[in-house]
Structure 1
Amino acid sequence: MSRVPPPGAVLVLGEALIDLVPYEEGPQGVRRYAAEPGGAPVNVAVGLARLATPSWFAGSLGGDAFAGDLERVLTGAGVDLSLTSRSPLPTTLAVTDPRPDGNGYHFHLADTATFRISELAGRADEFAAVYAGGLAAVVPPAAAAVAATARAAARSCVLLVDPNVRTDRSIDPADGARLLRELCRHAHVVKVSDEDLAALWPDRGAEDACRELAAGGRLTLLTRGADGSVAFTPDGERVAVPAAPVTVVNTIGAGDAFAAAVLNRVVALAPPPGGPVRVTREQAADILAFAGRAAASVVASSGTALTAPVAAHP
């Protein structure tokens, strides 16, 4: 049974899946993989709960053992699952392919529970903020439910969009990019990486694309890994913050920890429902530094964002 969210609650839309992460090389050079509960929205929901922000996950869990692991991770962190859909279908698998320039992924998406997400447009106004993006925004049938809920959120609360672009042979790149661009147009806060911008606006430089997003009334946050992050405000300000010093052990989930910390800070600012998130230079710098520390806590740990501490507090 669904419950009434408390003040300051955040609704997180999207996929709950299993990351298969290589951890050692076995006989004849065959990799061995660890099954890690994940999906960017799950990481964000858990990160919010760890930062003491009421966190409600609106994805879909399947009928296999992997779904049980995901449920235990979410409820163990204190995430509310009363708006989570259930299905007898199996859980999506994401096979991680670590590369020198970042992580690649190969997805097993067909006929899985992960994208049987319910539309929640009628519940969006009960939340202080809604998070959307990633695979669920481009993979049917979830994409339609995410789009409808996000449009409602844009009118009634704060909508944060993290495009979190993923490529796979089963995802049409042109249609996926179109859906994510449309989602960004509804957002009050857009969190993007250089890679996201190159995929969505290949004809623009990263900062030009961010300025254009911000000029439309969006607080736009650009993450650049070891080069730190930059905020572009609706009032035309550009604020850059260096990355927190850290020894990199793992990068999986760092961007999700960043997004969770941003939501934690933005909700605390209590922006007007459905209106632009306007911040001072000092507030923008605080948001970036806080989120950078959260990302650094993941980068410094092995495993994923779900197994790392979220050490963002001053």
Structure 2
Amino acid sequence: MTGGPGAVLVLGEALIDLVPVGGDGGVRAARFGGAPANVAVGLGRLGTPVVFAGGLGGDGFARTIEERLRDSGADLTLCARSELPTALAVAEPGAGGTGYHFHLQDTATFRLPDLSAQAGLFGAVYVGGLAAVVEPAASAVRATAAAAAEHSLLVVDPNVRRDRTLGDDDGAAALRELCSLAHVVKASDEDMERLWPGADPEESCRKLAAGGRLVVLTRGAGGSTAYTAAEPPVSVPATPVDIVDTIGAGDAFAAGLLSRMGASGSFAAAPGPQEVRDMLSYASRVAASVCARAGTEPSAP
């Protein structure tokens, strides 16, 4: 296991996205996915030491997932393994973004290890997404996140998903609880609207930041803004790009943000305004590298 103050532990799901081919909903390609897995691959591609802790099954999809993670440089020592199948996410791209229908139950994907005892061995711990709201993974995520909040830098990316399989509130209560524990929250404007309905996303970010957090709000083509308790908000425009595919762009942004934080030593210290601007700019360029082509693997600016 590759731990240490410059390493990131990513706890969450690695699954398969079934994505329409050429706009034809009747023909779908199986694509590596899961927000935490995308972040782990992104961190590896950007040169940040990363340990991915997910649930890997015994089918062909699981072997594809493992190969992709290993090729990126992610350490898989802490993954849980079983002979159960891999979870599937059926992607439904539309004018308002990409929606999903999930096939999650009785899969290896959400049999996650409780890593609360190991959380303090890393500079940062990243959690969020489906694993934070789907049991039995959610219990492991909560325990690990609570330990990381005490002994490391806890980074939460809620990645709110809407689907009938997730319960009446789509897991929003669990994600709000994780945000309250976090030192860093990275969320889209849609995430914030779903977590705090009826509230202005920027105001919700300010309230979270007032508790001593770094809160980064992304708005797609509208760029990103960082909020802290002590300084005025810092905004950076989106990097111009000819868009081919936006799936995975938010995960690439998160990987870029974390990679830059680790490189500057900000896992252990509160970044200043100029450092925050540099991190946002770098993350924006990493996200643009994903939007410029099909696939979710970023390249370093």
TM bracket, shorter-chain basis: over 0.9
The correspondence of residues 88-237 of structure 1 with structure 2, limited to 5 A, is: 88-174=83-169, 176-237=171-232
How far did 1:54 drift?
0.5
**Distance of 1:221 and 1:169 partners within structure 2:** 28
Q: Is the 8 A contact 1:234 1:278 kept in 2?
A: no
C-alpha RMSD of the superposition: 1.4
**1:261 partner SS:** helix
Matched to 1:92, the amino acid is: A
Corresponding residue number in structure 1 for 2:296: 305
1:259 counterpart (254, 260, 284)? 254
How far did 1:233 drift?
1.4
Which runs of 5 or more structure 1 residues have no equivalent in the other structure? none
Change (3 A) 1:198 1:173: farther
User: Which 4+ runs in 1 deviate beyond 3 A?
Assistant: none
Corresponding residue number in structure 1 for 2:63: 68
Q: Is the 8 A contact 1:107 1:168 kept in 2?
A: yes
**Distance of 2:41 and 2:192 partners within structure 1:** 26
How far did 1:9 drift?
0.8
Corresponding residue number in structure 1 for 2:19: 21
**Distance of 1:7 and 1:285 partners within structure 2:** 23
Corresponding residue number in structure 2 for 1:242: 237
**Distance of 2:182 and 2:4 partners within structure 1:** 23
TM-score (norm 2): 0.97
Q: CA offsets, 1:21-43, max 9 Å, x none?
A: 001366xxx62000001111111
Q: How many pairs does the alignment contain?
A: 301
The correspondence of residues 291-302 of structure 1 with structure 2, limited to 5 A, is: 291-302=283-294
Matched to 2:191, the amino acid is: D
How far did 1:136 drift?
0.1
Matched to 1:22, the amino acid is: P
Matched to 2:10, the amino acid is: V
Q: Is the 8 A contact 1:62 1:112 kept in 2?
A: yes
Q: CA offsets, 1:66-121, max 9 Å, x none?
A: 00000000001110000000011000000000101100000001111100001000
**1:107 partner SS:** strand
**Distance of 1:108 and 1:119 partners within structure 2:** 23
Q: CA offsets, 1:163-203, max 9 Å, x none?
A: 00001111014261110000001111100101101110113
**2:165 partner SS:** coil
